[in-house]
Amino acid sequence: MAGRLFFLLPLYLVLLLCAEAVAHAAPAAPSATPAPRPQWNLPSLEYFIEKLPAPPRTGSFRDRLDLQDARARQESMSQKQLAHAQVTFRLTVFTFAEALGNDFTAEKFPKTAAFFSRVASDANLIITGLKNHYQRVRPFQAHPGQVSIYVPAEAGYSYPSGHSTRSRLYAMLLTELDPSKKREISLCAQKVATDRILAGEHYLTDLEAGRKLGKLIYQSLMRDPGFRASLEAVRQAEWTQPAAKQPR
């Protein structure tokens, strides 16, 4: 018995030393590709989860209404509406040339283009986080044969609508830059959102959540002095020129 203990004791000591070495090992090096962070001050994802209603439960009454609405809109869609949906699929701030005039281009408004590119990046962090949280399947995927897809199929989930979110956010910021066009800008944002149902990518409740989210992001950004300073710099650079040089 003593001989067995003699041989087991060194093995026990080796295991004990190994465990202690692991416990005191240096922490793992940080990832070479850290998670992206917003460029401006935005609340956490949890804040937006708390503010937005959850999407309808699959098979619920509201979910079935969403499906009926999507089917009805696609069945009554005109060729003109389809063409518009295929254009607004590639949403940028310059989609709003429809409201602001053909002179509203990235070439003529380079600082505006750069500013809204940053806005889109920050908004997309929130949008993607919420989509991955709720994981609502897009209508053309959930109901093949009932809902058609008329634009290039996008990866990711349905709720909330990213196009609806960004178009509402862009509209509110563009109205800050050109209040005289508020009605036209708002109408353009609504069309962009509705196009997503026609295209087969979203339900009505996705759009409603997107509109609310766009406003929440706008309100959050406008509370950031750094963001307001950036917006004012764009206004001074490209939106306070004589009327003849404004987009029309």
- Beta-carbon contacts of 56 under 8 Å, excluding residues fewer than 6 positions away, are 62, 63, 66, 205
What is the rounded end-to-end Cα distance, in angstroms, of the chain?
97
Cis peptide before 160 (omega within 30 of 0): yes
* CB-based contact 185:175 (threshold 8 Å): yes
Structural domains in the chain, sorted by start: 55-239 (1.20.144.10)
Which of 225, 206, 224 minimizes the C-alpha distance to 43?
Answer: 224
Q: How far apart are CA 170 and CA 185, in angstroms?
A: 9
Low-confidence ranges of the chain (pLDDT < 70): 1-35, 242-248
Q: How far apart are CA 230 and CA 223, in angstroms?
A: 13
What 101-110 contacts at long range (C-beta under 8 Å, 24+ apart), as own/partner pairs, is: 101/247, 101/248, 102/247, 103/246, 103/247, 103/248, 104/247, 108/247, 109/238, 109/247
**What would the 3-class secondary structure string for the chain be?**
CHHHHHHHHHHHHHHHHHHHHHHCCCCCCCCCCCCCCCCCCCCCHHHHHHHCCCCCCCCCHHHHHHHHHHHHHHHCCCHHHHHHHHHHCCCCHHHHHHHHCCCCCCCCCHHHHHHHHHHHHHHHHHHHHHHHHHCCCCHHHHCCCCCCCCCCCCCCCCCCCHHHHHHHHHHHHHHHHCHHHHHHHHHHHHHHHHHHHHCCCCCHHHHHHHHHHHHHHHHHHHCCHHHHHHHHHHHHHHCCCCHHHCCC
**For the segment 17-51, what is each residue's pLDDT rounded down to a tens digit?**
444 443 443 333 443 445 578 788 899 999 999 99
* CB-based contact 207:194 (threshold 8 Å): yes
Sign of torsion over alpha carbons 84, 151, 135, 167: negative
